[in-house]
Amino acid sequence: MLALVGVTAMWLGLTAAALSYVRGSLRPALVASGVARRGPGGHGHDHGAPRSGWLLALPVLVLLLVTPPALGSFAATRQAGSAAAAAGDPGGVFPPLPEPVGGAVPLPVSEFVTRALYDKDRTLAGSRVRLLGFAAPAEDGGYLLTRFNLFCCAADGQAYQLKVRGDGARRQPDQWLVVEGRWRPQRVYSGIAPSGVLPVLVADSVTPVQRPADPYEHNLYGL
């Protein structure tokens, strides 16, 4: 049993499969825990164990045979309101935007959402940005560009979302997209933004892409 768990932990730590569940910096810890579980131990003899104990191996076998997907649109719709709104004003002054690359400023979705809701200097105004995320269904029939931000693992993942306007194509749930466009200026909040308030990005370019190796964001705007 311990050997099976150890092999599973090592497999996760040595492959990109772990990125569906934990941040990349924890992969060495998974490998180390797998080695420790596979190491020698015990009293040197077998006391035996109930056969029902082997049922504990079933979750591990499911993980190996049917790898669960990363958090997606279904999980995002189960979270109430915007993660940035729930967290409230992060405080302080936002740094200047990065320099444009290829005609647009590349930003994490969580940073765009947080700046849009709380940046009193409105540094997004007039800037063309580039965001990478997946589509989640919106109540008005469009879609919300979404990305989960992890502090440690999928259990603490928070969904950051924004409305996309100007894209006439029908996007499927969990379809990954690179969206370029400009923020539609809105009210900037102090304290906590009302639940359900989402920024709007007016798109001028939307490109379907493959899911990135790491589907999550890990940055200070998600803490």
3-state secondary structure the chain: CHHHHHHHHHHHHHCHHHHHCECHHHHHHHHHHHHHHHCCCCCCCCCCCCHHHHHHHHHHHHHHHCCCCCCCHHHHHCCCCCHHHHHCCCCCCCCCCCCCECCEEECCHHHHHHHHHHCCCCCCCCCEEEEEEEEEECCCCCEEEEEEECCCEHHHCEEEEEEEECCCCCCCCCCEEEEEEEECCCCCCCCCCCCCCCCEEEEEEEEECCCCCCCCECCHHHC
pTM: 0.74
Beta strands 128-137; 105-106: pairing state: parallel
* pLDDT of res. 204: 97
pLDDT category, 32, cuts 50, 70, 90? low
Percent of the chain with pLDDT over 90: 43
What are the b/e assignments for 131-169, b being 16+ CB within 10 Å? bbbbbbbeeeeebbbbbbbbeeebeebbbbbbbbeebee
Mean pLDDT of 194-212: 94
* pLDDT of res. 195: 79
- Taking a C-beta distance cutoff of 8 angstroms, is the pair 178, 134 a contact? no
| Integer angstrom CA distances of residue 118 from 37, 101, 105, 180 | 46, 24, 19, 21
* pLDDT of res. 207: 98
* pLDDT of res. 44: 45
Per-range mean pLDDT, top range of 11-15, 116-120, 190-194:
116-120
Which amino acid, residue 207?
T
Q: pLDDT tens digits for 82-116?
A: 666 666 666 667 899 999 999 999 999 999 999 99
* pLDDT of res. 186: 93
What CA–CA distance (Å, rounded) separates 4 from 68? 18
pLDDT category, 42, cuts 50, 70, 90? very low
What CA–CA distance (Å, rounded) separates 199 from 89? 15
Percent of the chain with pLDDT over 70: 61
